[in-house]
Amino acid sequence: GCDGTPMGQHYTIKAAVLIQRWYRSYMARLEMRRLYSLSIFQSIEYAEEQAQLQVYISSHFFSTSSDPRVAGSDLTMTELEKTIEVPDAYFGPHLCFPLTAADTDMLLQAFKHRQHLHARYVLQLFHETRKVLQQMPNITHLSTSYAKEITICGDLHGKLDDLLLIFYKNGLPSEANPYIFNGDFVDRGKNSMEILIILFAFFLVYPNHLHLNRGNHEDHIMNLRYGFTKEVMKKYRSYGKAILNLLQDIYSWLPLATIIDNKVLIVHGGISDSTDLKFLNLFQRNKVKCDFCKAMLLFIFAAIWYMPVVDILWSDPKHQNGCTPNKIRGGGCYFGPDVTARLLERYNLKMLIRSHECKQEGYEICHNGKVITVFSASNYYEDGSNRGAYIKLNPDLIPRFVQYQVSKSTQKQTLHQRVTAIELSAVKCLREKFYIHKSELIAAFRQYDPNYTGKISLSDWATAVASVLHLDLPWRTLRSRLVSLTQDGCIEYLSSFENLEIKLPIKEVQPSLVETLYRYKADLEIIFNMIDRDHSGLISVDEFRQTWKLFNLHLRNNIEDDSIDSLAHSIDLNKDGSIDFHEFLEAFHVVHKFENRYSNSRKCNS
């Protein structure tokens, strides 16, 4: 067929068209799998944030004020620093204030080699940062006339490799190379502390050329749930509490927004139909230390002072017109193109740049080009799940997007292998959600199965799952990854829970408590951390019992007090009256019985 004759050329073209069609179909299927995997991760993330609201309300009963020794005067801080000696055995970077560009270079090199900055220098750095932040307005105004371009970065979430890659590609912050970092520097990733130290150091050296906006994760309650508190305590131990208390105050002094050339508004989350920039520029931002717990508990006062801040930290854009409560996240709102257009017209602005949402390509444009989302943490959910990006904005205010992806474990994999790994991880997370809601799901399924046949229709299965999990997902599409079909095409709903079990830290935990403990373990850990004022990881048996009973009452769970008392005594393993709650809660995890088999087969097939 490849002999050069007209007939041969015909078959060659036909074969090429068939191969092209197959390839396009193959790539489309891969893209669909990657998109729904990202949708799974995002839906679970937002559902967790919604659950966080309940903990904010509960946390009011347990919250404590900052340590006055840390949040107090300069003299008190100086005295505290003098008591912290830097031992001769310390081989990390040494800082001398005021900082210079040489200090920032030294910190970058130290963190590339996995060194830590000593607690004394951390406290000094954070203290100096707070002093400069206190002099700054709520809304920072910048101009492109002093530099060719301004670089805008989105969420970093503790991913140091992304920050280092941005600096490698785009250059270090300087007078000629200004940056804006748009919040959510911490949580989730393993190097939130290093990111804060680097950003604060550059901020002190170039206070007019590196700018920081507050994100919704610059909040001590969020840090308790999403990992930063644990990171600080692990790295700085006895000084962790002092660092965390000082950071709580620093968060409250971070600016809320930036405006470039009086035309481009930059906030972390978004806006609402009641966003008033003049008000945001005038009120005392340092009063908002825990944006949600005050906002949810003091409704009248919050409506005036705190809800505008919640809106700009937590809101997301939507395609439809209007402004509605953001029920998926549990805070802020969804704002439509009409809300964006009115705010831009009111303040004579050209566009809104925000972050707050992971995007597959690292950025997204919506609202007729008036709203841009930029997200700078690549591989946010899983290796290969998304790119990171930053924006270069020139005097013409035309955004230029730079994408990247930190690639270590994935660089030798094919596209099919990367997508398969992301998909398996997403489905694994989703199956865990099924298992920890097992009782509710079975009850919902049996409403459509009064004769206990174990079979229901696909439509009924999807309706039942949506009613229990409250995740905005295409359940019909996901069916094949979550549940088995019978020969007659019905859903065998109990197959959703096959090959999964919750590993128990102790045998004495009653079955009725297992599901509840696992489902709310992240919330319980936040409250336990609040009780554990010295961050030792230990609370008394009585504190555990009382906390659980209050939490149980708040959630309206039907768990008897006797069961809680029995659990409290059972987990006091050495009977000294103290409970290591971190160890206890982390011991609860879902075991995927055949996970190793699946991973081995993937290796064999790759």
Catalytic residues, by residue number, are 217
Reduced to 3 states (helix: H, G, I; strand: E, B; else coil), residue 408 is coil
Q: Is the separation of the CB atoms in 202 and 173 below 8 Å?
A: yes
Helix (H) or strand (E) holding 355: none
CA distance 516 to 137: 45
Burial of 123 (0-12, 13-18, 19+ CB in 10 A): buried
Torsion angle of the four alpha carbons 78, 82, 87, 91, in this order, in degrees rounded to the nearest 10: 20
Task: List CB contacts of 536: < 8 A, sequence separation 6 or more.
Answer: none
Q: How many CA atoms lie within 13 A of 162 on its CB side?
A: 32
Q: Give how far Cα 379 sits from Cα of 78, 402, 602, Å.
A: 40, 16, 20
142/451 Cα distance (integer angstroms): 68
- In 3D, which of 316, 418, 271 has the Cα closest to residue 46? 316
Q: For residue 409, with 0-12 CB atoms within 10 Å meaning exposed, 13-18 middle and 19 or more buried, which class applies?
A: exposed
Q: Cα separation of 360 and 373, whole Å?
A: 11
Q: Is 87 helix (H, G, I), strand (E, B) or coil?
A: coil
For residue 377, give the nearest of 482, 226, 262, 496 by alpha carbon: 226
**Cα distances (angstroms) measured from residue 413 to each of 98, 197, 423:** 46, 34, 15
Alpha-carbon distance 324 to 508, whole Å?
46
CA–CA distance, 421 with 239 (Å, rounded to integer): 39
Residue pair 170/376 in contact by the 8 Å Cβ criterion: no
Chain centre distance of CA 170: 25
The answer to whether residues 99 and 567 touch, using CB atoms and an 8 Å cutoff, is: no
The span from the CA of 151 to the CA of 144, in Å, is 11
- Write out the DSSP string of 421-435: HHHHHHHHHHHHHHH
Query: 517: closest CA among 458, 589, 416, 606?
Result: 589
Residue partners of 172: CB distance under 8 A and separation at least 6: 104, 105, 108, 202
